[in-house]
Amino acid sequence: MFRSKSSQQISIGTKSLLENFSAKSSYAESYRTLRTNLHFSLLDKELESLIITSAIQGEGKTNTVANLAYTIALTGKSVLMIDADLRKPALSTRFGAAKDKGLSILISDVLGGNLTTGKMSDYSLQNLFKLCSLQKRSCALTITDDANEVALSFLKGDLVDIYWKNRPQSKNLANTLIKEKILTREEATLALAHQKKSSRGLGTILTAMGFVPEKELNKILSIQTMEAFRVTTAMVDGTFSFKSLGEGDIQASVGNGIDFEHLYSDFLNIDTPGSYLENEIYAAILSTKHENLYLLPSGVVPPNPSELLSSTRMGYLLSLLKKKFDVVIVDTSPVMPASDALLLGPQTDGVVLVIKSGSADRKILQDVVQQLKISKTNILGVSLNQADRSKDGYYKYYKSYYGN
């Protein structure tokens, strides 16, 4: 069960929410039918995330988001509504949360902020790694505590080197190679003297001079890298600082044959948000006055909605929230004036297209469906909104059978 870190509880400010209608009304029944149809829309998995959108403005997509989410929450599932309409955030407005910190701030400031210094007690190592990855930073991260200092190098978000700066003398590369009888003291002396005149790492010099086979060197460097990781993960009370670097300034001293991604995944669960990101993200999620129903507001309207929604930061946030809630329902801008639904669609189980009865233009709808298919978005179905059930025919029978 998710519990919002915010003490604020919100309620939707519209008479069209299902709580204002009888459970026996055809209005309530239509949303239960939509819920059931969505449940059976995927053959091999549970529906976990979907987008509600429309072709143009004013077709009722936001109302559909609120009522579908409310209907699913009544079954006991935790449901998160995300207002990803960063142009005209109607969902946030209806819940009275238009001025709250929300999606745009999480993407731009929390996940995209240029962090420079801080305390390890406030940020986990997972946070620092994830922020470097999401921002594709080329930088040096130095972590220091009372006992140790470690420098980690990142190239476009990928870890490429780790250097335990105050490694005990007995454990440095030269002495370790001598201890393992891979290198003689005379060879070590020559290589160290050459290193003083060069910008290259000792390992590179040793292989270039033919003193140490590359395979043997990588074996020792792998062990030393794991030792450096163990030291780094224990530095929970230290401080950290970032220094931006150009690609030419980063030289991986290990480099050859070491899979850093696999290595640090053995030490860190990089997919967990960690304390800082968890606190920031979950604090932005608001509880509603309806059990199991939550809202992530849009936040301030940004100048670049499509850029934010198409970023890797948005993808990470969405994947994190899908793990936290049973169902995530995303409200986006209409398809014709904006590409937002097309950008987010492939990251969800699919999209429901809301069409207002009697006002749909067939050519526009064909264009929208074609665009969704091109973006590789799974079209779950169409919701015909504001249909007149008082007319003769099927709906007359429906009304007489189920009640007004």
Candidates 91, 82, 70; CA nearest to 28 is 70
Find residue 288's DSSP bridge partners.
Answer: 10
What residue has token string 């972590």?
Answer: 143
For residues 286 and 251, the model is more confident at 286
**pTM of the prediction?**
0.84
Domain boundaries, the chain: 32-102+289-402, 113-274
Mean pLDDT in the chain?
86
Give per-residue pLDDT as tens, 164-212: 999 999 999 999 999 999 999 999 999 999 888 887 788 889 999 999 9
Give per-residue pLDDT as tens, 310-359: 999 999 999 999 999 999 999 999 999 889 999 999 999 999 999 988 77
CATH topology of domain 32-102+289-402: Rossmann fold (3.40.50)
Lowest mean pLDDT among 201-210, 260-269, 368-377: 260-269
Q: Which two tokens stand for residue 22?
A: 């009888």
Q: Are 213 and 177 in contact (CB under 8 A)?
A: no
352 phi/psi in degrees, rounded to 5: -110, 125
Q: What mean pLDDT do residues 81-94 have?
A: 93
